[in-house]
Amino acid sequence: MKTKRRVGVLMGGPSRERDISIKSGKAVSQALKNKGIDVVPVELMECSAMNGYREFVKQQILSCNIDIAFIALHGEFGEDGMIQRLLEEVNIPYTGSRIDASKLGMDKISSKDIFKLNNISIPRYTVIHNKDKLNAQQYFTILGCPLVVKPSSEGSSIGLSIVESENDFYIAIDIAFKYSDSVIIEEYIQGREITVGILEDKPLPIVEIIPKRKFFDFKAKYEKGLTEYKVPASIDKTQYDACQRMALEAHKALGAHFFSRVDMILSNNGIPVVLEVNTIPGLTEMSLLPKAALAAGVDFEGLILKILKSVE
């Protein structure tokens, strides 16, 4: 790949993770500039309705006259295959996973189906599509207490709750339905929260996440001082290897390309359990994938350059 080609860093967009995306995009842009790459930051607008949005974005991207798109978009219109499809239509190569893998990674229900087919350990769960005639006690009986309630298609723990009472259960259901037409009710796995970055389709050192709040929610993820990170995690070698192996299996099962981040729980029984695969994880120097890469000897600028050079 010729470094003289013009790279557009796509950021912003219409999702609830817009602000995080802009931080990722700015960090990526600066890293590429530091490496002498011709960079154009492309901040996609917000929108309240998707009518006409896709065509507007297409024209915005074409007007920038870029040769390659570095996708730093999170959530809707970034990780769900929509921007990937648009870029393929206009023949602009792009970083990261292709259309189908992006859609699967964003859709927690579809990705769980894929994991089950590939014998990848996941929490027990059920899916509901409306709030009619819900019986909270039924779910506590089947899946245990506490329960995890979350939208089927949001990232950054948006709309996610951990509940231990019937009253909190119904509140959590109402919250989750604000973000998605389908809601996942899932067993809570007791254990250590970890994430395994994938780079060059190989697992990186494991990061252990130790939130100072009840769980690793949106606030714990993005406010300084609310979470401690240990990388590499202090885990028994046999379990460590098993976590990395399962993370790579999840990455491959979805068809993710070159890099991703696999969020997991190492249960108290020593069993790695996959929660989700992020096909476009956060890309600031403080984000989890860059932390893992640095532990493997790849600094932030080196990581971003590797991702760019992965574009065929």
Q: Where are the domains of the chain?
A: 6-96, 105-120+190-279, 125-187
Please report the pLDDT score of residue 105 as a whole number. 93
Alpha-carbon 151 to chain mean position: 14
Residue 89 neighbours by CB under 8 Å, 6+ apart: 58
pLDDT of residue 215: 53
CATH code that applies to domain 105-120+190-279: 3.30.470.20
Q: What is the pLDDT of residue 220?
A: 47
Residue type, 234: S
pLDDT value of position 10: 98
Answering whether pTM is above 0.75, one says: yes
Confidence (pLDDT) at 66:
97
**How distant, in Å, are the alpha carbons of 94, 113, 207, 218, 290 from that of 196?**
23, 21, 6, 19, 11
CATH architecture of 6-96: 3-Layer(aba) Sandwich (3.40)
Give the pLDDT of residue 312: 65
Omega within 30 of 0 (cis) for the link into 290: no
| pLDDT score recorded for residue 155 | 60
Catalytic residue among 81, 96, 155, 282: 282
Among the listed residues 12, 13, 15, 17, the single catalytic one is 17
| Regions of the chain where pLDDT drops below 70 | 1-4, 48-50, 154-156, 213-226, 312
Whether 282 is catalytic: yes
- Residue range 203-223, pLDDT digits in tens: 999 999 997 755 544 454 545
**Catalytic residue among 111, 121, 161, 278, which?**
278
- Is residue 222 annotated as a catalytic residue, yes or no? yes
State the catalytic residue, choosing from 261, 267, 269, 270. 261
240 is catalytic: no
Q: What CATH number labels 125-187? A: 3.30.1490.20
Whether 200 sits among the annotated catalytic residues: the reply is no
| φ, ψ dihedrals at 28, nearest 5° | -65, -45
Active site residue 152: no
Q: Residue 213 catalytic?
A: no
Q: Is 285 one of the catalytic residues?
A: no
Structure tokens belonging to residue 271: 């069993």
Is 301 an active-site residue?
no
